[in-house]
């Protein structure tokens, strides 16, 4: 076998491995998208539920969180719950898919 044939075989093997890794990564991404993550504000006054693909799918606000004289507090609670939910999604994504992007400069 000459060098050109060896390089061609090596390239074929690398392409096969890359396709297998891509297929596995897509399966894990789909699995992650099916999960739900619940972000919570202090005392669970507001909860924000996200899908694993960063979509807000539910938002619950306890009645006692609604004070017409303090709308700023309610806004802060909603922001806190949303940030918490997004943080959970990001951490799970990094944990599940980060192994594929390590060392790639992404």
56/9: higher pLDDT: 56
> Tell me, what's the pLDDT at 98?
77
Residue 88 to residue 37: CA distance in whole angstroms: 6
pLDDT-derived band at 12 (thresholds 50, 70, 90) equals confident
Domain ranges across the chain: 3-103
Is the Cβ–Cβ distance between 32 and 96 less than 8 Å?
yes
In DSSP notation, 17-80 reads HHHHHHHHHHHHHHHHHH-EEEEE-GGGSEEEEEETTS-EEEEEE-GGG--TT-HHHHHHHHHH
> Tell me, what's the pLDDT at 40?
97
User: For the structural domain made of 3-103, what CATH number should be given?
Assistant: 3.30.1310.10
> Tell me, what's the pLDDT at 103?
56
- The verdict on pTM exceeding 0.85 is no
Residues making up the chain, counted from first to last: 106
Q: Mean pLDDT throughout 15-27?
A: 85
Would residue 56 be called left, alpha or beta, if left means φ above 0 and alpha means ψ between -120 and 50 degrees? Answer: beta
> Tell me, what's the pLDDT at 51?
93
Q: Is 63's pLDDT higher than 80? A: yes
- Which strands form 36-40's sheet, in the order they lie side by side? 36-40, 46-51, 56-61
Q: Which residues pair with 56 in a beta bridge?
A: 50
Residue whose token pair is 């940030």: 83
Q: Is 6's pLDDT higher than 80? A: no
pLDDT tens by residue, 65-105? 999 999 999 999 999 999 999 999 999 988 887 777 665 55
């Amino acid at each position: 076998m000459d060098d050109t044939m060896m390089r061609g075989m090596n390239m074929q093997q690398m392409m096969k491995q890359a396709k297998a890794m891509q297929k596995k990564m897509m399966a894990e991404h789909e699995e992650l998208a099916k999960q739900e993550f619940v972000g919570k504000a202090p005392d669970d006054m507001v909860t924000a539920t996200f899908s694993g693909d960063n979509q807000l799918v539910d938002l619950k606000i306890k009645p006692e969180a609604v004070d017409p004289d303090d709308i700023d507090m309610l806004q802060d609670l909603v922001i806190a719950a949303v940030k918490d939910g997004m943080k959970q999604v990001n951490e799970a994504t990094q944990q599940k898919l980060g192994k594929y992007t390590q060392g790639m400069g992404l």
